[in-house]
């Protein structure tokens, strides 16, 4: 399913009383707002609803209604000069979306010498008013805080690189939030018995993150698998060789089994319009189901790389974390602790089952396994390390109050010896060291799984947490 374009509202605010007093001020400020609109419109998959300069309470109410009718996801409120808080309040109340206050000067500093050489003191005041974006922000913040309307500020220069990096992070965060709101999560099978940490309040999950949940049966996937044509299987085997480094000891019959399941899985996902999936199958003596679920890893890995993240062990919270990272093109691969190399001060992390092959260091290997440890059956599995360089770990943590928090840690995926056991497996170095990382990460009470993505993306995730109205803890 294609996520709709992000709808972003933008308006500047000013004071109508100024326009007759100071020639050219309004046009100058409108030019600033238009320059922001142009840069926002150039962003990927973004639609801008630009309402210009709002300068009175009446116009503010009209703008609030217009933004609501446009169903915007995020509102940028550009403070161009002094403006009354009574102009802001009805606008943001009617819009009803997260508010980002842009406190942006046109340049780093006023040219004091030129300014003070101006002969007309009225013109001097008009010039100063074009620079005083910071002036009304405390007044606006006071009212928004008292009205219990959450907001955030971007403070800086109109054309500054740091300013626009922060604005772009807000757009990315809003895009992730929209992806979650449009997420259709399939839950196939049941929890891994005894893993109390991963059992999740799915109702609260929908309340917090949005999206739909579809409860699905393994039987349906098995039935679809029986309908797969032989030519589709052959095509899929070719795709395996294109996307994976299939090891010579992989039996042809196992590749055939995995291909049949992969084709069926694609039909299954399309039929239910899924954009994410969590699954687990214990096995009840039904051969068709065991055949399906023991041959699912290659297909689920391909789906994960195609922006339909799949989590094993019915890890509902973690597939949401994977979806977040995937929505910002950071990957999002399923992982957990494997061991610690105290000599090299790195934590070994990985998992069996699906891997996000789009963030693999080199080509992902396919290896045969005689047993899936702790699970039913045997078959093919994927072996990969996450690309060397900066990484972010992300966990969606269910807190004692029944709500959710995000937990992050930033580190590096580093080269070195890994366990060649047919699983995803990476070595991660953290700036606070392995011992402190383990202690502090565990202290926040996450489930034993987490998602790993490429890059240091906690700044975006902090903004996402704000948009979702939940907390975020950063370990490092």
243 located within any domain: yes
* Dihedral angle sign, alpha carbons of residues 431, 434, 436, 442: positive
In this predicted structure, what is the pLDDT of residue 405? 96
Dump the DSSP string for 411-459: EEEE-S----SSSEEEEEE-TT-HHHHHHHHHHT---SEEEEEES--HH
Distance of alpha carbon 285 from alpha carbon 51, whole angstroms: 63
pLDDT digits (tens, 9 = 90+) for 291-333: 998 899 999 999 999 999 999 999 999 999 999 999 999 999 9
Mean pLDDT of 188-195: 90
pLDDT digits (tens, 9 = 90+) for 152-178: 999 999 999 999 999 999 999 999 999
Return the CATH number at 192.
Answer: 3.20.14
In this predicted structure, what is the pLDDT of residue 371? 67
Evaluate whether 131 touches 77 at the Cβ level (below 8 Å): no
1 located within any domain: no
355 located within any domain: yes
- Both 37 and 166 in a single domain? yes
- Both 64 and 101 in a single domain? yes
| Residue ending a domain, choose from 150, 180, 210 | 180
pLDDT digits (tens, 9 = 90+) for 223-275: 999 999 999 999 999 999 999 999 999 999 999 999 999 999 999 999 999 99
Q: Which position has the higher pLDDT, 109 or 1?
A: 109
Domain that holds residue 470: 183-474
CA distances from 63 to 10, 57, 93, 96, 420 (A): 10, 10, 11, 12, 60
- Both 252 and 385 in a single domain? yes
Q: How many CB atoms lie within 10 A of CB 178?
A: 21
134 located within any domain: yes
In this predicted structure, what is the pLDDT of residue 364? 93
- Both 207 and 322 in a single domain? yes
pLDDT digits (tens, 9 = 90+) for 349-390: 998 878 899 999 999 999 887 766 666 667 788 888 999 999
Distance of CA 84 to the CA centre of its chain: 35
291 located within any domain: yes
- Both 163 and 268 in a single domain? no
Distance of alpha carbon 258 from alpha carbon 294, whole angstroms: 8
Q: Is 290 exposed, middle or buried (0-12, 13-18, 19+ CB in 10 A)?
A: middle
In this predicted structure, what is the pLDDT of residue 466? 96
| Residue ending a domain, choose from 133, 161, 180 | 180
In this predicted structure, what is the pLDDT of residue 352? 82
Mean pLDDT of 148-154: 96
Return the CATH number at 59.
Answer: 3.40.50.10940
In this predicted structure, what is the pLDDT of residue 377? 67
Distance of alpha carbon 117 from alpha carbon 388, whole angstroms: 57
Supply the pTM of this predicted model: 0.94
- Both 337 and 422 in a single domain? yes
pLDDT digits (tens, 9 = 90+) for 331-343: 999 999 999 999 9
Listed range (81-85, 280-284, 389-393) with the worst mean pLDDT: 280-284
Q: Over pLDDT 90: what percentage of the chain?
A: 87
Q: Over pLDDT 70: what percentage of the chain?
A: 98
- Both 335 and 353 in a single domain? yes
432 located within any domain: yes
- Both 145 and 192 in a single domain? no
208 located within any domain: yes
Distance of alpha carbon 451 from alpha carbon 408, whole angstroms: 10
In this predicted structure, what is the pLDDT of residue 2? 63
In this predicted structure, what is the pLDDT of residue 429? 98
| Residue ending a domain, choose from 145, 180, 215 | 180
- Both 160 and 234 in a single domain? no
The number of folded domains in the chain is 2
Whole-number mean pLDDT of the chain? 94
Mean pLDDT of 434-460: 96
In this predicted structure, what is the pLDDT of residue 285? 80
The strand order across the sheet containing 74-79 reads 46-54, 6-13, 74-79, 99-105, 151-157
- Both 249 and 128 in a single domain? no
395 located within any domain: yes
Mean pLDDT of 61-88: 96
Q: What's the pLDDT band for 468 if we cut at 50, 70, 90?
A: very high
């Amino acid at each position: 399913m294609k996520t709709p374009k992000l709808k972003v509202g933008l308006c500047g605010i000013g004071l109508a009383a100024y326009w007759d007093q100071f020639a050219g001020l309004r046009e100058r400020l409108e030019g600033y707002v238009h320059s922001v609109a142009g840069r926002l419109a150039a962003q990927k998959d973004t639609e801008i609803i630009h309402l210009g300069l709002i300068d009175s309470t009446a116009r503010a109410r009209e703008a609030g209604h217009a933004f609501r009718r446009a169903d915007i996801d995020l509102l940028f409120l550009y403070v161009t000069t002094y403006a009354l808080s009574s102009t802001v309040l009805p606008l943001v109340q009617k819009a009803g979306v997260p508010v980002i206050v842009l406190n942006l000067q046109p340049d780093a500093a006023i040219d004091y010498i030129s300014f003070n050489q101006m002969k007309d003191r009225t013109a001097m005041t008009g010039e100063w008013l074009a620079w005083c974006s910071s002036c009304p922000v405390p007044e606006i913040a006071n009212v928004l805080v008292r009205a219990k309307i959450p907001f955030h500020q971007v403070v800086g220069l109109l054309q500054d690189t740091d300013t626009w990096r922060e604005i772009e992070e807000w757009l990315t965060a809003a895009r992730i939030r929209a992806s979650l709101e449009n997420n259709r999560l399939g839950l196939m099978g049941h929890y891994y018995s005894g893993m109390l940490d991963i059992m999740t309040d799915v109702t609260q999950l929908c309340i917090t993150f949005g999206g739909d949940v579809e409860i699905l049966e393994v039987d349906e996937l098995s039935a679809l698998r029986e309908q797969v044509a032989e030519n589709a299987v052959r095509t899929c085997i070719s795709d395996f060789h294109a996307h994976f480094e299939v090891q010579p000891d992989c039996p042809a019959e196992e590749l055939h089994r995995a291909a049949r399941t992969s084709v069926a899985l694609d039909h299954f996902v399309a039929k239910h319009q899924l954009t994410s999936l969590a699954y687990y199958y214990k096995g009840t003596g039904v051969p068709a189901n065991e055949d399906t679920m023991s041959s699912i890893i290659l297909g689920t890995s391909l789906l994960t790389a195609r922006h339909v993240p799949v989590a094993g062990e019915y890890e509902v919270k973690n597939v949401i974390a994977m979806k977040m990272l995937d929505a910002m093109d950071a990957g999002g691969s399923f992982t957990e602790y494997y061991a610690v190399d105290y000599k090299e001060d790195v934590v070994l992390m990985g998992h069996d089952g699906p891997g996000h092959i789009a963030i693999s260091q080199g080509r992902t290997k396919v290896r045969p396994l005689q047993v899936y440890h702790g699970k039913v059956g045997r078959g093919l599995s994927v072996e990969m390390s996450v690309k060397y360089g900066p990484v972010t770990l992300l966990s969606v943590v269910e807190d004692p109050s029944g709500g959710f928090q995000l937990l992050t840690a930033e580190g590096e995926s580093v080269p070195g010896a890994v366990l060649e056991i047919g699983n995803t497996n990476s070595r991660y170095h953290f700036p606070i060291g392995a011992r402190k990382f383990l202690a502090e990460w565990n202290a926040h009470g996450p489930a034993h799984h987490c998602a790993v993505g490429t890059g240091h993306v906690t700044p975006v995730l902090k903004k996402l947490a704000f948009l979702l109205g939940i907390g975020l803890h950063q370990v490092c």
